[in-house]
Amino acid sequence: MKLDSAGLEILARSACLDLLASTPIGRIVFTDHALPAVQPVNFSLLDGEIVIRTGIGSKLAAAVANSIVAFEADEFDPVRRTGWSVAAVGHARVASDPGEIDRLSRLPLTPWAPGTRDHFIVMAPEQLSGRRITS
Amino acid sequence: MKLDSAGLEILARSACLDLLASTPIGRIVFTDHALPAVQPVNFSLLDGEIVIRTGIGSKLAAAVANSIVAFEADEFDPVRRTGWSVAAVGHARVASDPGEIDRLSRLPLTPWAPGTRDHFIVMAPEQLSGRRITS
């Protein structure tokens, strides 16, 4: 088991992807009017890319299109004080190819929030890192 | 009930603070080497300020000291598809006054990760916003 300087277990890329696939909610981190911003989203993985569904003309799509964003998911157990987190950094784009949109529409990715959400933000993790706290 | 353009309930500042006080884990969002970065932390509230405990010389303390950061906490129920999230933006500082450090040391804020963590990052939320998804 490889530990970082804070004593946390360093997770391999494959473990990071497995953990991301295990949870429906993550947080996208971006810059909004020159300030750091963060928004929870439900997401899905497709071919190692993170896919987020959003509304047409959403502030999120406008803020993240063609920019470098971070994405984070985690799960913690407050009683046992264990848990994991995975963070990805990469270039976000709004899907525009009709074939790709059709393919993304078939993902099991139903937004929890109300409203029509027919746009997809896709992020390819260029950096992917994960940590686990073991008891 | 006030809704935003995405159909989510807008939470008042007092509700945001109550929700933040109800959960031990949040995520601090900052810039690391010009890239967006996010790290889960356990935290506490003191007089409306967000307090994070970290190690001496930690990368986090170096990255966030005297900069504008965002902070996010949330709780979601995947079965009922409900949940809330609160996001804060404000100026982060590393506590340096011995009297303040002494006061912060008495918070019920035991880090989950191993190692000595005797430094405190304090953030006063200048912007505070919260949303709730109701079923």
The structural domains of chain A, with segments of one domain joined by +, span 9-133
Chain A residues close to B64, C-beta within 8 Å: none
Contact between residue A23 and residue B132 where contact means Cβ atoms under 8 Å apart: no
CATH 2.30.110.10, domain B17-69+87-125, yes or no: yes
CB contact under 8 A, A7 and B78: no
Would you say residue B41 has pLDDT above 80?
A: yes
**Per-residue pLDDT tens over the stretch B47-103:** 999 999 987 667 888 889 999 999 999 999 988 889 999 999 999 999 999 999 999
Distance to chain A for B32, nearest Cα, Å = 11
Token reading at B11: 């939470």
Please give the residue of chain A at the shortest CA–CA distance from B56.
A6
CB contact under 8 A, B29 and A24: no
Q: How confident is the model at residue B132 (pLDDT cuts 50, 70, 90)?
A: very high
Which CATH number does the domain A9-133 belong to among 3.40.50.300, 3.30.70.890, 3.30.360.10, 2.30.110.10? Answer: 2.30.110.10
Token reading at B8: 């989510």
At residue A105, the 3 state secondary structure works out as: helix
This model of the complex carries an ipTM of: 0.91
Chain A residues close to B25, C-beta within 8 Å: 74, 76, 78, 83
Which is nearest to A25 in space by CA: B23, B74, B29? B74
Q: Which residues pair with A74 in a beta bridge?
A: A85
Greater confidence, A101 or A111? A101
Stretch among A12-21, A113-122, B27-36, B116-125 having the lowest mean pLDDT: A113-122
Which is nearest to A72 in space by CA: B115, B77, B110, B73? B73
Chain A residues close to B39, C-beta within 8 Å: 85, 87
Would you say residue A34 has pLDDT above 80?
A: yes
**Per-residue pLDDT tens over the stretch B93-124:** 999 999 999 999 999 887 777 666 778 999 99
Side-chain half-sphere CA neighbours of A116 within 13 A: 3
Nearest to B85 among A36, A40, A89 (CB): A40
Token reading at B69: 């950061």
Span A48-67, average pLDDT = 87
